[in-house]
Amino acid sequence: MKAVNQAIIKKDAMALVTGKPVYTDDIAPKDCLIVKVLRSPHAHAWIKKTDAAVAKKVPGIECVLTYEDVPGSRFTIAGQTFPELSPYDRLILDRRVRFVGDAVALVAGTDEKAVDRALRLIKVEYEVLAPVLDFTQALDHPVVVHPEPDWKELIEIGGDNQRNLVATSTHEHGSVEAVLADCEVVVEETYHTKQCQQAMMETFRAYCYIDAYQRLTVVSSTQVPFHVRRILAQALELPKSKIRVIKPRIGGGFGAKQTAVMEMYPALVTWITGKPAKMIYTRYESQVVSSPRHEAQVSVRVGATRDGIIRAITVQSLWNAGAFGEHSPTTVGLSGHKSISLYNSNLEAFRFSYDVVYTNTIAAGAYRGYGATQGIFAVESAVNELAAKLGIDPAKLRERNMVQQGQVVPSYFNEYASSCALDRCLVRAKQMIGWEGKYPRREMGHGKVRGVGLSLDMQGSGISKIDTGAVSIKVNDDGFYTMAVGATDMGTGCDTILAQIAAECLGCSPDDIVVHGVDTDTSPYDCGSYASSTTYVTGMAVVKTCEALKQRILAEGAKKLGCEVSELVFDGHEIMAEDGVRCVSLKDVANAAMCGNSTALYATESHCSPVSPPPYMVGIAEVEIDTATGQIELIDYAAVVDCGTVINPALAKVQTEGGLVQGIGMALYEDVVIGETGRIANNSFMQYRLPSRLDIGRRIAVEFESSYEPTGPFGAKSIGEVVINTPSPAIADAVYNATGVRIRELPITPEKIFMGMQSKK
């Protein structure tokens, strides 16, 4: 292959490294109104009265809006395919505020100083209500977070707002209790993961204006432009035809921008005033009013024989949605389906159940891994505990039980594992880190001890039967191509990857493919960049579009050469007859099509996959513990990924390394702390610790073990999310192997390790 499986530089690389104005705030008009939000100081309160008279008189203030000035239709800000599974539980501004930081009023003005002054002058009289902050007590709590009668779910998810219940469900296969009762060994433990922030470099931001046709145009740093259009139409009570959404370059998202956290605020201001308006979230706002990973409490039971054959698994979980339910009914599903399914070979029965509850805390949302991260931490930790209880090497235990290629997987929607190199990933990862010589622990002297731990992992490739991707490609004069995509490049390089797939199909260079980013007016529909869908789903749309376009090129060549299409071949540059004599160049065909032509050299195709083939991964961590203090240092991390055919090895490696760093951060450093009043304590990067290059180990080694996925473009699967899930359970088990301390609540801190060692003494 000439374009696929090549480390081609990103198409936007030079623009980004030379500081070209490509991001939302770079290209916003200088005369935009500045929009800011007045936020609630209370976790739960009823607004009795708002007095904005003085604030409106501040010079430069265009408008001050309260709950009395906004539409009354409830909506969800979850960027999901319609009808959304997330409940409709929001208003743009509500009289009831449900967490510290909830929106109370909007202020728009010509300059930031005027807006800040006006915010200080708004007087709000609150009736402070009792909050429910502990998600383990929220179900059927006397305090109801959403008592409103117009709360609704579009699809049955088991929610009941009067019980603080967002969603509930149970999935079961086989006689779970009977099998567990018959097992010789059962491990039963509960694991707790906290909220984590995506902490992307570019915060939430958007600007809006009214175009010449009186339509609302929204330029937003979003992963889901088409979903944002629908969300705004519902929130503003406008027809979708009145709204256009444009996505510029994005400075990272990691799932946070799958949620329309703030687009409705500048959009409302622009629609009311008719003037351009922009909103730029500060880092403080991005920490306290955004959409972090869900806090979860996951109870796992694993039943096995004495020789380590896993026969049954149950996963029962409780999730904290926070003040609103966006993404809550969907994240929970991945926690079971993509953890239990790793142990398919001998599994006789499983059960997976969950409850998601409202609390008066920051609303959770989508974050890379999307629920699988929490579930895999729990299940992989339980499997490691089973290995310790049986006295079996955890790698050998997995070799006896892991899912294998060719199996049907009941816990993964009965899908067929058509491509799975998980067994080879494990062998290779063990070799990379030197498992046989390091497991379980080594004394290093001076009170230092090292341990190793491992974890398996799987994700998906888009949402089967739902996620849709599409592209349009046209031939221009001189024979270069223009490709319009609806998929959102958020720094991952998908514009480049899709161009590589198109170039391989069309027999040209990726430089001959000009890629246009998302504009809901001109781009073909795409669900957006989430659920690890772009390379797999939209990539197949590229393949289908290229095949259709090649047929049109051949048809035009047949006219020129006076022969049948079946007699021709196209090598990317020339259309040639079988006799090898008659030929015409693509350049000549393209230029001729500009005059007197009735057939457009253009094609557009859409793709939706009936399956979601999982990528797989093995991660092995080596840590060093100072037994005198509990201080932990990550020494080494070996990761091997099976994502099918790797389209761009350089971008895939960077994706893997970045995901591992985020996973290491979740395992060791990141912790959203909510105080007794509902206020987030670590609301800046001074308090919320992210791992730096100095924190993530002396070596992170990444390799790929190829499989071939027949339903993907050139055999490719996804890679975006699978790479984040292995660090937490692998590091936790490495700590146990080094010290004998089993930590079941993240993050793993020196204090927890030290106190664990003391309690063992």
Q: Rounded to two decimals, what is the model's pTM?
A: 0.96
Q: What is the pLDDT of residue 597?
A: 82
Instruction: Give the pLDDT confidence of 118-170 residue by residue, as tens digits.
Output: 999 999 999 999 999 999 999 999 999 999 999 999 999 999 999 999 999 99
Mean pLDDT value of segment 262-273: 98
Domain boundaries defined on the chain = 13-129+201-252+256-288, 131-199+291-417, 425-455+615-761, 469-607
Q: Closest by alpha carbon to 325, among 487, 157, 450?
A: 157
Q: CATH topology for 469-607?
A: Aldehyde Oxidoreductase; domain 4 (3.30.365)
Query: What percent of the chain clears pLDDT 90, i.e. is strictly above it?
Result: 94
Q: Which CATH architecture has domain 131-199+291-417?
A: 2-Layer Sandwich (3.30)
> Could you give the CA distance from residue 750 to residue 625 in angstroms, rounded to a whole number?
9
Both structure tokens of 418: 């058509």
Q: How many CB atoms lie within 10 A of CB 401?
A: 23
**Do residues 607 and 472 make contact, with C-beta atoms less than 8 angstroms apart?**
no
Q: Closest by alpha carbon to 366, among 258, 289, 460?
A: 258
Q: Closest by alpha carbon to 266, among 348, 204, 359?
A: 204
Instruction: Give the pLDDT confidence of 393-432 residue by residue, as tens digits.
Output: 999 999 999 999 999 999 999 999 999 999 999 999 999 9
Local structure of residue 519 (DSSP, 8 states): B
DSSP E strands in 537-615: the ranges are 568-570, 574-577, 583-585, 602-607
Mean pLDDT value of segment 458-475: 96
DSSP E strands in 340-447: the ranges are 349-358, 408-409, 415-416, 441-445
Please report, as a single letter, which amino acid is at residue 465: K
For residue 761, pLDDT beyond 90: no
Q: Lay out the sheet containing 583-585: strands in order across.
A: 568-570, 574-577, 583-585
CA distances from 337 to 341, 379, 666, 696 (A): 6, 11, 21, 29
Both structure tokens of 749: 């801190």
- Give the relative orientation of helices 422-433 and 394-401 as an angle to the nearest 10 degrees: 170
Instruction: Give the pLDDT confidence of 681-732 residue by residue, as tens digits.
Output: 999 999 999 998 888 877 899 999 999 999 999 999 999 999 999 999 999 9
Q: How many CB atoms lie within 10 A of CB 648?
A: 26
Mean pLDDT value of segment 596-601: 85
> Could you give the CA distance from residue 402 to residue 64 in angstroms, rounded to a whole number?
59
For residue 594, pLDDT beyond 90: no
Q: What is the pLDDT of residue 491?
A: 87
Q: Lay out the sheet containing 602-607: strands in order across.
A: 513-516, 481-485, 469-475, 602-607
Q: Closest by alpha carbon to 126, among 110, 105, 149, 154?
A: 105
Q: What is the pLDDT of residue 433?
A: 97
Instruction: Give the pLDDT confidence of 31-64 residue by residue, as tens digits.
Output: 999 999 999 999 999 999 999 999 999 999 999 9
Instruction: Give the pLDDT confidence of 208-251 residue by residue, as tens digits.
Output: 999 999 999 999 999 999 999 999 999 999 999 999 999 999 99
| 425-455+615-761 and 469-607: identical CATH topology | yes
**Do residues 227 and 79 make contact, with C-beta atoms less than 8 angstroms apart?**
yes
Query: What percent of the chain clears pLDDT 70, i.e. is strictly above it?
Result: 100
> Average pLDDT over the chain, rounded to whole?
96
Which residue reads 């007045």 in tokens?
A: 38
Please report, as a single letter, which amino acid is at residue 452: V
> Could you give the CA distance from residue 123 to residue 564 in angstroms, rounded to a whole number?
78
Q: Please state which CATH number belongs to domain 425-455+615-761.
A: 3.30.365.10
For residue 578, pLDDT beyond 90: no
**Do residues 341 and 372 make contact, with C-beta atoms less than 8 angstroms apart?**
no
Q: What is the pLDDT of residue 695?
A: 83
> Could you give the CA distance from residue 278 to residue 516 in angstroms, rounded to a whole number?
24
Q: Are strands 632-642 and 699-704 parallel, antiparallel or unpaired?
A: parallel
Q: CATH topology for 13-129+201-252+256-288?
A: Aldehyde Oxidoreductase; domain 3 (3.90.1170)
Q: Which of 339-348, 687-696, 731-740 has the lowest mean pLDDT?
A: 687-696
Mean pLDDT value of segment 177-194: 98
